[in-house]
Amino acid sequence: MKDFANHTQTRGEGRNIEITDIEADVIDGNFEWNIVRVHTDAGITGIGESYRGGGVPEVMEYMNRFLVGENPLDVERLFRRMVQETSGHGGTTGKVVTAASGIEIALWDIAGKALGVPVYQLLGGKYRDQVRIYCDCHAGEAFAVEDGYHEPAAEDAYAVEAYADEAERVVDMGFTALKFDLDAPYDNSPDPYNGRVSNSAMERKRKTVEAIRDRIGYDVDLAFDAHWDYSIDSAKRLADTLEPYDLMWLEDVVPPENTRAQREVARSSSTPLATGENRFRVHEFKDLLYDYGIDIITPDPTTCGGLAESKAIASRAEENYIVFSPHNVCGPIGTMACVHLGASIANFGVLEYHALEVPWWDDLVTTDQDLIQDGYIEVPEDPGLGVELDEDVARDHMLGDGQLFAWPTRSPSRLVRFGPVSLGPHTGGSEWSRR
């Protein structure tokens, strides 16, 4: 078995530091945002974020078992150690890689702070001063999340004019790129299971896209998400039907497991197709990229393995002249990590923003102004990610009582018990995350 523990002996002055603790909490935004803090004996705390969903915070804290005592500056080696140490329980994919993604982002934050440079500099440098944002929109009250699943709204929420009204409102905010969900409850008639779209449903989708285009014109980039709902014949028909409307892309048209089906749809239409948010690590993107199953690749850096792994995916996409546009439903911490990534990638396109309905989104981090200005986020020049978690705001929006399991570690100074957690002393810790 490969051993990715630290076997090096030589470090420059000021770079001999150790991880002392990993803490994870869940912020109740429009999604459940999994936030992680990695503490060090140098008094530096790194923050990161993993994709939403249950089980991820527990996995992040479990990694205390083998990360405490490690040097956080060895970011890529430690990511490989997280994968290797958990390989027997799903560590090469799924929730474990998602948890490792958030920790990896926090390690980059530590490295930037320790070395006095922004994260984008550590990733190879800057291609752009601002990262362009596309806003994920919802017509009327057509979107709700309860316990991680999509709950359709009432029928009138999906009215054609509701989409056009929302598009106009968001463009007036300064965004120059938008995305809407195009799957809807009316897709389930006459059959809710087979993924075929009726003629009437297809026409309603066409009218929806047409209404938005009529309202905002063609200078605004426009994408639509189908959430893997359709059979291959309906996916082809949908892509063909929407060709006249010059979409930025049509996303996730068929279920994600079958790359050949995705490629078949891609080769049947000139409408650009995008997918990638539910794949893990660079290996799972190979067929999509090298067999040209997509036109735009959309990994989620907080899911697929973090910033270095995402950059490896982007490099393979660049080999095939494919644009890299990350999926992102995070709070501001994960979003700013993606901003640094976007700054460092030549074939970067646009970054998703999916929290328009959260008025305190910017307040979760310490910033003097809204992060998004006229549809762009400025790439920070401060060390690390360039933002810090506002603990008071986080406390106000923490999910539940904030009590998580504490896993046994190799640190003798840490007291461990289950239920309400008691911790021994560690540098830079926060008490509110264990109240």
User: What domains sit in the chain, N to C, each tagged with a CATH number?
Assistant: 19-117+388-434 (3.30.390.10), 121-378 (3.20.20.120)
In sequence order, what are the residues at sequence separation of 6 or more whose Cβ sits closer than 8 angstroms to the Cβ of residue 203? none
- Counts for the chain of helices (H) and strands (E), in that order: 14, 15
The DSSP line for 283-306 is GGGHHHHHTT--SEE---HHHHT-
pLDDT of residue 13: 85
pLDDT of residue 401: 60
Residue at 23: amino acid letter? E
Contact 343, 290 (CB under 8 A): no
pLDDT of residue 380: 97
pLDDT of residue 412: 33
Catalogue the E-assigned strands of 168-275: 177-181, 221-225, 249-251, 273-275
Write down the pTM of the prediction: 0.90
pLDDT of residue 349: 98
At 26, is the secondary structure helix, strand, or coil? strand
In sequence order, what are the residues at sequence separation of 6 or more whose Cβ sits closer than 8 angstroms to the Cβ of residue 97? 83, 91, 280, 281, 303, 304, 305
- CA distance linking residue 338 with residue 44, whole number of Å: 21
pLDDT of residue 144: 53
pLDDT, averaged per 10 consecutive residues of the chain (435 residues), comes to 84 92 95 96 98 92 95 97 90 92 98 98 98 90 52 75 95 97 92 96 97 98 96 98 98 95 95 96 95 97 98 98 98 98 98 95 93 98 97 92 43 30 32 32
pLDDT of residue 422: 27
- CA distance linking residue 245 with residue 296, whole number of Å: 17
Task: Compute and round to an integer the Cα radius of gyration of the chain.
Answer: 22
pLDDT of residue 430: 36
At 262, is the secondary structure helix, strand, or coil? helix
pLDDT of residue 409: 40
Which of the 8 DSSP states describes residue 193? S
pLDDT of residue 432: 34
pLDDT of residue 10: 85
